[in-house]
Chain A
Amino acid sequence: MAAHLKKRVYEEFTKVVQQQQEEIATKKLRLTKPSKSAALHIDLCKATSPADALQYLLQFARKPVEAESVEGVVRILLEHYYKENDPSVRLKIASLLGLLSKTTGFSPDCIMDDAINILQNEKSHQVLAQLLDTLLAIGTKLPENQAIQMRLVDVACQHLTDTSHGVRNKCLQLLGNLGSLEKSITKDAEGLATRDVQKIIGDYFSDQDPRVRTAAIKAMLQLHERGLKLHQTIYNQACKLLSDDYEQVRSAAVQLIWVVSQLYPESIVPIPSSNEEIRLVDDAFGKICHMVSDGSWVVRVQAAKLLGSMEQVSSHFLEQTLDKKLMSDLRRKRTAHERAKELYSSGEFSSGRKWGDDAPKEEVDTGAVNLIESGACGAFVHGLEDEMYEVRIAAVEALCMLAQSSPSFAEKCLDFLVDMFNDEIEEVRLQSIHTMRKISNNITLREDQLDTVLAVLEDSSRDIREALHELLCCTNVSTKEGIHLALVELLKNLTKYPTDRDSIWKCLKFLGSRHPTLVLPLVPELLSTHPFFDTAEPDMDDPACILSSVYSPGGPDDPLGTGVEVRNWESGIIVILCLASGFIYHRDLQRLGELQSELAGVADFSATYLRCQLLLIKALQEKLWNVAAPLYLKQSDLASAAAKQIMEETYKMEFMYSGVENKQVVIIHHMRLQAKALQLIVTARTTRGLDPLFGMCEKFLQEVDFFQRYFITDLPHLQDSFVDKLLDLMPRLMTSKPAEVVKILQTTLRQSAFLHLPLPEQIHKASATIIEPAGESDNPLRFTSGLVVALDVDATLEHVQDPQNTVKVQVLYPDGQAQLIHPKPADFRNPGPGRHRLITQVYLSHTAWTEPCQVEVRLLLSYNSSARIPKCPWMEGGEVSPQVETSIEGTIPFSKPVKVYIMPKPARR
């Protein structure tokens, strides 16, 4: 060991000396390579006991191996494999082989023969299983090579009869992943027996070991995923597996049935013990529904989830799922839902409930009652009442999906969804409210249902209330009384939880605009004024007043004339953007953004780009460039400021917009490169001495190199551009002195053409609004200095990608001290696509002040430009590559700052 260490150290030492000048990063990697396999070899030879060898192997596995040296390592491992007697070491070697063959850039076909060879001679079942796993890794690495795949399938078939379940499992997995998809190919290849992979796998559906049965079903599903059309005959086999003793088998079988039902929805299957026939999808639906009352909750979740995606099922079966024939003492009884509906339609809706009100009516024919075999009957009733909330959530989700595709079902499931608003788990309540919102287009709420929905407004959870407000925004209410009821309840909500103000007002606005005809007769009543007696302007903070103003439907016959602002659509001329033809001044673009909100993102994005370009041109047109001699004066303020601003703007463009594609990223990076060049030139002109310039030039050239490497595919689009010209001159630049470099840069920068920006399809600017603190309070927040005070921050974020990692809160104290706070991931909620809500607490603290003062709170978007760049290839392959924490490179403020009045008091003694 010592000798080896010495050798290694010596090696490294000498090489490092040689390479200090250039490209340290790439060469350094190569340096460890030869020692890698050699070291392993030495280690393994020295290992005296299997435990030792295992330790060495484990250590070895922790480090990544690069593609070129994989083969050598593999050879050494194989060599040791043959010599090794201990199965655990062989197992580890086998697993290492599998890992190594996954290395990108390494073609594992060379080790396949060896792997198969050692497989034939192996006795230990565990090692066998691991070797098959390795073969699987090899096979998946070479998806095009038919011959290899065939061979592997053959090997798998040979070992299918093994007595160990682990080996059979792996064989089936191998078959599922590599089994050839088209039969024709197997037939063409003569000499090899035609294998019907489906048949072989299907035979193992009745294996004695449940784990193997599960593996067989999974393999079948894998075949399906790879695009093989499964035979319909599998359906019957899978149905038998539904009554298996083991939950994992049943769970997988449910999936398989679902797959087959999606493949052959319209085929006809007979109903056992009768002459009738039904569509396969209906039959499968019934079977999966039955599994919703399975004994294992894992299966129940699986079944409930899958139900949601069976949209082809007949409506008759679908509606059965909500139907549970009630009876009491053999007499038919109506459900509470039916009774509520009846009461409502007969106009006695608030009558009190009496004893015996639900007394059963007609007798039930005992022969006609089916207690279990009714298939779909009541599946959702059971699912929604399940003990485990996971099942309930899955059932609610399934209801949602089915209701979205079938309006009549939506109407029917309404009662059940409304019931779920009272679930004991908040997550389930929230989910059902969201579901209701999603299907709200298809439904109209009855008054009694609305009543139940509105009762939830008093919930103490903010999420629930806000979800409910959103639901009310898009609900259809049938009557004027319903609207009135909603209004009253919302007002009650407002008095109980004043923080909901914004959300409630928004809700009222939509509610009003959705039901203009129902609201109109209510307006005088709401304002309790007659429109003719127009009094002095009412207090604008009175909620009712605000209500009426947003409530009014607008339009010419608006009784009070206080309609919402009507947009002047005539001026909103649609401008077709054609940047290629030249400049449109960015102010026009901004105006356009204001006019048409859906174009705002694009307009803003292009405006920013144009602004950068203009800045660059302006900076280059500065007079100071005309002076040939280096300028040591501080006259270049404008140019350096421009460079700085362009940098900032490019970061904004790159990170503040969602939907930016690679095409745009190239242009943005290019712009940034130009800005850096500008900066370099300005520095060169303003600083004395060459030393600092050396470093800067070096860095800049590195940047160019970096640009070239990462955007190599996009370079053809950048003809005539700055970087294009620069790359032509690269060999010259590398050798010339800094002063010369600067000169070249300056001319290229001036000569380079303007690159026009291809606009992305959908682009949105990230924005944030801080709702709380509102910044209006005159009462300072008092706290004892040295202790902390919690400040509630509530903000809405729009179009922010991955806010959990990027959004930060900044607090600026009057003394210039700034504090950056990372909110917890759980503080972000996602109420809708592209929108996020940050509700968090920020802790403030400071030493004592003599009088209250304001601190500024704002939101920042942090970015890290290297995060976009693909990671080095070997890092993803290695099993232990430590995730490099994405560090923050810089931040962009993206919300208006809010001032908070605080007063840290000196501590009392």
Chain B
Amino acid sequence: MCGTGFGHFRWLAEGGAGQDVGRSCILVSIAGKNVMLDCGMHMGFNDDRRFPDFSYITQNGRLTDFLDCVIISHFHLDHCGALPYFSEMVGYDGPIYMTHPTQAICPILLEDYRKIAVDKKGEANFFTSQMIKDCMKKVVAVHLHQTVQVDDELEIKAYYAGHVLGAAMFQIKVGSESVVYTGDYNMTPDRHLGAAWIDKCRPNLLITESTYATTIRDSKRCRERDFLKKVHETVERGGKVLIPVFALGRAQELCILLETFWERMNLKVPIYFSTGLTEKANHYYKLFIPWTNQKIRKTFVQRNMFEFKHIKAFDRAFADNPGPMVVFATPGMLHAGQSLQIFRKWAGNEKNMVIMPGYCVQGTVGHKILSGQRKLEMEGRQVLEVKMQVEYMSFSAHADAKGIMQLVGQAEPESVLLVHGEAKKMEFLKQKIEQELRVSCYMPANGETVTLPTSLSIPVGISLGLLKQEMAQGLLPEAKKPRLLHGTLIMKDSNFRLVSSEQALKELGLAEHQLRFTCRVHLHDTRKEQETALRVYSHLKSILKDHCVQHLPDGSVTVESILIQAAAPSEDPGTKVLLVSWTYQDEELGSFLTSLLKKGLPQALS
């Protein structure tokens, strides 16, 4: 029984360029249910292109009627930035699912972003604080591995994804069809988060990010060691270290890294963290210990790793203090704000050092100094000479090609769909997945729809009596091997049942019809009928050892329930006709017998 009718994927606008600046928004229709996965915004645009084009989903009619639910994988703005716009300005009242940490941190980031967009850049037609609050009221928080029943048929389940605090992969399941959406994930654990993990859920489709589709990364330990060595050497020399970071994610990882190192090495040099958003975020990190890695989870009873001993809040005045120090400052690309201010103060001293832990967009100060520029033109025609050391360390939290393959191997999907990456790179990974895992793979462009047929399995109830009867007959039950079974399928009220034929007859009130096959076999034998029958009997007896062969007094022979009679046709005394008759149920044995008899009897031994 095969059915098609598995949904299609609508692939909404998704900027492929850059690493963290795309916008994710995927629409999945699965067995008649519509689910929107992530609702991201594009940081590169300041106009309408910033948000996905939601009119694409439904031309007329309300979104709430069309969508069954919205799922947000994690709190990065390219995955949740358009949420208030979508729910409040476009209008959606259905449930929005996300994990607890995401629910806690998401509004902070949205509010922060709104402030920059509206208060600083003075944009109109943007969502307001109230809208963020209203939007968050529609959120339903889920736990890891908790199966949430969205409605009678649709259920979702979250898996740990690493990447950032609270990041999750979601399994969406309707009946026997299922889809897994990974969001962003990381297969190598870091200092504060564990590795992504999924069980062998064998979904029909796995939608995975593919940011690093063509990269296999080096061990994290070398990078960490390098980082620590650089920082340590600089502070020992009496220099100052500036680490420009974004408020959430990598910042916490580096903090933990330095904090534990300071603890281990008994260092006394102060470490500062710029205040504001980060403080709030750190508070949440402290609360969501179950979402962190093994070490933090195991030791938090003695001490919460996010309650930093060595890291203190930064004050503007500290930058001029003499002596060594380490400062984490926002933003991460040195384009504005506190990090740039500090940079300007410290750039002139060759003892100091700046460590860029991430990617820098072209045009920012960060990018300039990384590409080796030593003289920077600042505003007011001022030239800043950079004497301090400039270091680059990449601490990325996306899975690399090997990691993606590993996850696909773990989940064992029927097919894979690659999103969130560059087409050229995805092409390579697609080829690899098809080659090495033998799984079909898709990579739709923005706005493209992929339809995937699925083999529909229909559950059929089987009566216990029939099953037991079958078990009693059969040999060892073998796992995972199909087995033939006789029974009657009753379809009644969209309800399938497999019962024994007797029961079916009884239930339907039908009388049983006997079906008999009869067959004549001509034998060349000159002897009398009785003797022929006797010969047939002894012949069959010698061959069919494990069947019950009987010679009845009336001259006929029975094998189980098959009747064989010998008759002499009047015209030819040299041939005898054997009448073989069997019921429909004994078809197998009956046909075997006839073919056996057709070969003739062996010559009598006497």
List the A side residues contacting B401 at CB < 8 Å: 327, 371
Contact present for A459 and B265 (CB under 8 Å): yes
Q: Which of A55-63, A202-210, A276-284, A580-588 contacts B (4 or more CB under 8 A)?
A: A202-210
Q: How far is the CB of B411 from chain A (nearest CB, A)?
A: 9
List the B side residues contacting A324 at CB < 8 Å: 216, 218-219, 402
Q: A366-B431, A459-B265 are in contact. Are A387 and B195 (CB under 8 A)?
A: yes
Contact present for B215 and A329 (CB under 8 Å): yes
Complex: A423 Cα to B389 Cα, angstroms: 27
Is A293's CB within 8 Å of the partner chain B? yes
Residue in contact with B266 in the complex, picked from A293, A378, A496, CB distance below 8 Å? A496
List the A side residues contacting B406 at CB < 8 Å: 293, 372
Q: A336-B223, A371-B405 are in contact. Are A327 and B216 (CB under 8 A)?
A: yes
Residue in contact with A388 in the complex, picked from B198, B294, B392, B409, CB distance below 8 Å? B294
Contact present for B391 and A352 (CB under 8 Å): yes
Contact present for A353 and B226 (CB under 8 Å): yes
List the A side residues contacting B431 at CB < 8 Å: 366
List the A side residues contacting B428 at CB < 8 Å: 330, 366
Is A441's CB within 8 Å of the partner chain B? no
Q: Encode contact with A along B403-416: 1 for CB under 8 Å, 0 otherwise.
A: 00110011000000
Complex: A92 Cα to B189 Cα, angstroms: 48
Residue in contact with A355 in the complex, picked from B390, B425, B480, CB distance below 8 Å? B390
Contact present for B266 and A295 (CB under 8 Å): no
CB-based nearest A residue for B200: A245
Q: A329-B425, A371-B405 are in contact. Are A387 and B224 (CB under 8 A)?
A: no
List the B side residues contacting A206 at CB < 8 Å: 478-480
Is A190's CB within 8 Å of the partner chain B? no
Is B436's CB within 8 Å of the partner chain A? yes
Is B543's CB within 8 Å of the partner chain A? no
List the B side residues contacting A203 at CB < 8 Å: 476
Is A425's CB within 8 Å of the partner chain B? yes
Contact present for B425 and A455 (CB under 8 Å): no
Is A779's CB within 8 Å of the partner chain B? no
List the A side residues contacting B409 at CB < 8 Å: 372
List the A side residues contacting B230 at CB < 8 Å: 353
Q: How far is the CB of B159 from chain A (nearest CB, A)?
A: 11
List the B side residues contacting A161 at CB < 8 Å: 476
Residue in contact with B371 in the complex, picked from A355, A372, A455, A458, CB distance below 8 Å? A355
Q: How far is the CB of A509 from chain B (nearest CB, A)?
A: 26
Residue in contact with B226 in the complex, picked from A336, A366, A370, A458, CB distance below 8 Å? A336
Is B372's CB within 8 Å of the partner chain A? yes
Residue in contact with B214 in the complex, picked from A329, A354, A422, A461, CB distance below 8 Å? A329
Q: Encode contact with B along A830-849: 1 for CB under 8 Å, 0 otherwise.
A: 00000000000000000000
Query: Considering the complex, which residues of chain A in the window 431-482 have a beta carbon less than 8 Å from any beta carbon of chain B?
Result: 452, 455, 458-461
Which interface class (under 10, 10 to 19, 20 to 34, 35 or more) fits A?
35 or more
- Name the prevailing secondary structure of the A interface residues: loop
Residue in contact with A337 in the complex, picked from B191, B217, B222, B294, CB distance below 8 Å? B222
Q: How far is the CB of B129 from chain A (nearest CB, A)?
A: 38
List the A side residues contacting B425 at CB < 8 Å: 329-330
Q: How far is the CB of A497 from chain B (nearest CB, A)?
A: 9
Query: Considering the complex, which residues of chain A in the window 353-400 have a beta carbon less than 8 Å from any beta carbon of chain B?
Result: 353-356, 366, 369-373, 378, 381, 384-389
Complex: A161 Cα to B391 Cα, angstroms: 68
Contact present for A355 and B402 (CB under 8 Å): no
List the A side residues contacting B389 at CB < 8 Å: 352
Q: How far is the CB of A74 from chain B (nearest CB, A)?
A: 35
Contact present for B371 and A326 (CB under 8 Å): no
Contact present for B222 and A424 (CB under 8 Å): no
Is B229's CB within 8 Å of the partner chain A? yes
Contact present for B191 and A384 (CB under 8 Å): no
Contact present for B199 and A295 (CB under 8 Å): yes
List the B side residues contacting A333 at CB < 8 Å: 218
Contact present for A328 and B432 (CB under 8 Å): no
CB-based nearest B residue for A452: B225
Query: Considering the complex, which residues of chain B in the window 172-231 have a beta carbon less than 8 Å from any beta carbon of chain A?
Result: 188-189, 191, 194-195, 197-200, 214-226, 228-230
Complex: A455 Cα to B402 Cα, angstroms: 32
Is B90's CB within 8 Å of the partner chain A? no
Contact present for B391 and A371 (CB under 8 Å): no
Residue of B226, B263, B264, B436 ringed by the most chain A CB atoms within 10 A? B264
List the B side residues contacting A336 at CB < 8 Å: 218-219, 222-223, 226
Q: A381-B219, A460-B264 are in contact. Are A386 and B225 (CB under 8 A)?
A: no
Q: How far is the CB of A40 from chain B (nearest CB, A)?
A: 40
List the A side residues contacting B390 at CB < 8 Å: 355
Residue in contact with B265 in the complex, picked from A293, A354, A388, A460, CB distance below 8 Å? A460
Q: Encode contact with B along A316-352: 1 for CB under 8 Å, 0 otherwise.
A: 0000000011111110010111000000000000001
Q: How far is the CB of A466 from chain B (nearest CB, A)?
A: 15
Contact present for A372 and B436 (CB under 8 Å): yes
List the A side residues contacting B219 at CB < 8 Å: 324, 335-336, 381, 384-385, 416, 419
Complex: A526 Cα to B579 Cα, angstroms: 116
Contact present for B477 and A208 (CB under 8 Å): yes
Is B232's CB within 8 Å of the partner chain A? yes
Q: A295-B197, A353-B391, A372-B436 are in contact. Are A424 and B214 (CB under 8 A)?
A: no
Query: Considering the complex, which residues of chain A in the window 772-786 have a beta carbon less than 8 Å from any beta carbon of chain B?
Result: none
Q: How far is the CB of A393 from chain B (nearest CB, A)?
A: 12
Q: Encode contact with A along B221-263: 1 for CB under 8 Å, 0 otherwise.
A: 1111110111010000000000000000000000000001001
Is B440's CB within 8 Å of the partner chain A? no
Contact present for B228 and A458 (CB under 8 Å): no
Is A420's CB within 8 Å of the partner chain B? yes
Complex: A422 Cα to B227 Cα, angstroms: 12
Is B437's CB within 8 Å of the partner chain A? yes
List the B side residues contacting A420 at CB < 8 Å: 221
Q: Encode contact with A along B273-302: 1 for CB under 8 Å, 0 otherwise.
A: 000000000000000000001110000000
Contact present for B436 and A370 (CB under 8 Å): yes
Q: Encode contact with B along A133-165: 1 for CB under 8 Å, 0 otherwise.
A: 000000000000000000000000000010100
Residue of B197, B218, B295, B370 ringed by the most chain A CB atoms within 10 A? B218
Q: How far is the CB of A88 from chain B (nearest CB, A)?
A: 26
Q: A336-B223, A373-B436, A387-B194 are in contact. Are A325 and B477 (CB under 8 A)?
A: no
List the A side residues contacting B432 at CB < 8 Å: 369, 371
List the B side residues contacting A327 at CB < 8 Å: 214-216, 401
List the B side residues contacting A370 at CB < 8 Å: 436
Q: How far is the CB of A801 from chain B (nearest CB, A)?
A: 33
Q: How far is the CB of B465 from chain A (nearest CB, A)?
A: 15
Complex: A696 Cα to B389 Cα, angstroms: 87
Residue in contact with A458 in the complex, picked from B200, B266, B471, CB distance below 8 Å? B266
CB-based nearest A residue for B471: A163
CB-based nearest B residue for A352: B389
List the A side residues contacting B294 at CB < 8 Å: 387-389
Complex: A427 Cα to B266 Cα, angstroms: 18
List the A side residues contacting B372 at CB < 8 Å: 354-355
List the A side residues contacting B215 at CB < 8 Å: 327-329
Complex: A369 Cα to B476 Cα, angstroms: 44
Q: How far is the CB of B406 from chain A (nearest CB, A)?
A: 6
Residue of A293, A371, A387 ringed by the most chain B CB atoms within 10 A? A371
CB-based nearest B residue for A295: B410
Complex: A318 Cα to B285 Cα, angstroms: 41
Q: How far is the CB of A886 from chain B (nearest CB, A)?
A: 33
List the A side residues contacting B197 at CB < 8 Å: 295
Q: Encode contact with B along A85-119: 1 for CB under 8 Å, 0 otherwise.
A: 00000000000000000000000000000000000
Besides A327-B401, A335-B222, A496-B266, 10 other CB < 8 A contacts? A208-B478, A329-B215, A337-B222, A369-B432, A371-B401, A371-B405, A372-B406, A387-B294, A424-B191, A461-B264
Q: List 24 A-B contacts (CB under 8 A).
A: A163-B471, A203-B476, A206-B479, A208-B480, A295-B198, A295-B199, A324-B402, A326-B217, A326-B218, A330-B214, A330-B425, A336-B219, A356-B392, A371-B432, A373-B436, A385-B219, A387-B293, A387-B294, A419-B219, A419-B222, A424-B260, A458-B264, A458-B266, A496-B266
4 nearest CB pairs, A to B: A208-B479, A336-B222, A387-B189, A419-B221
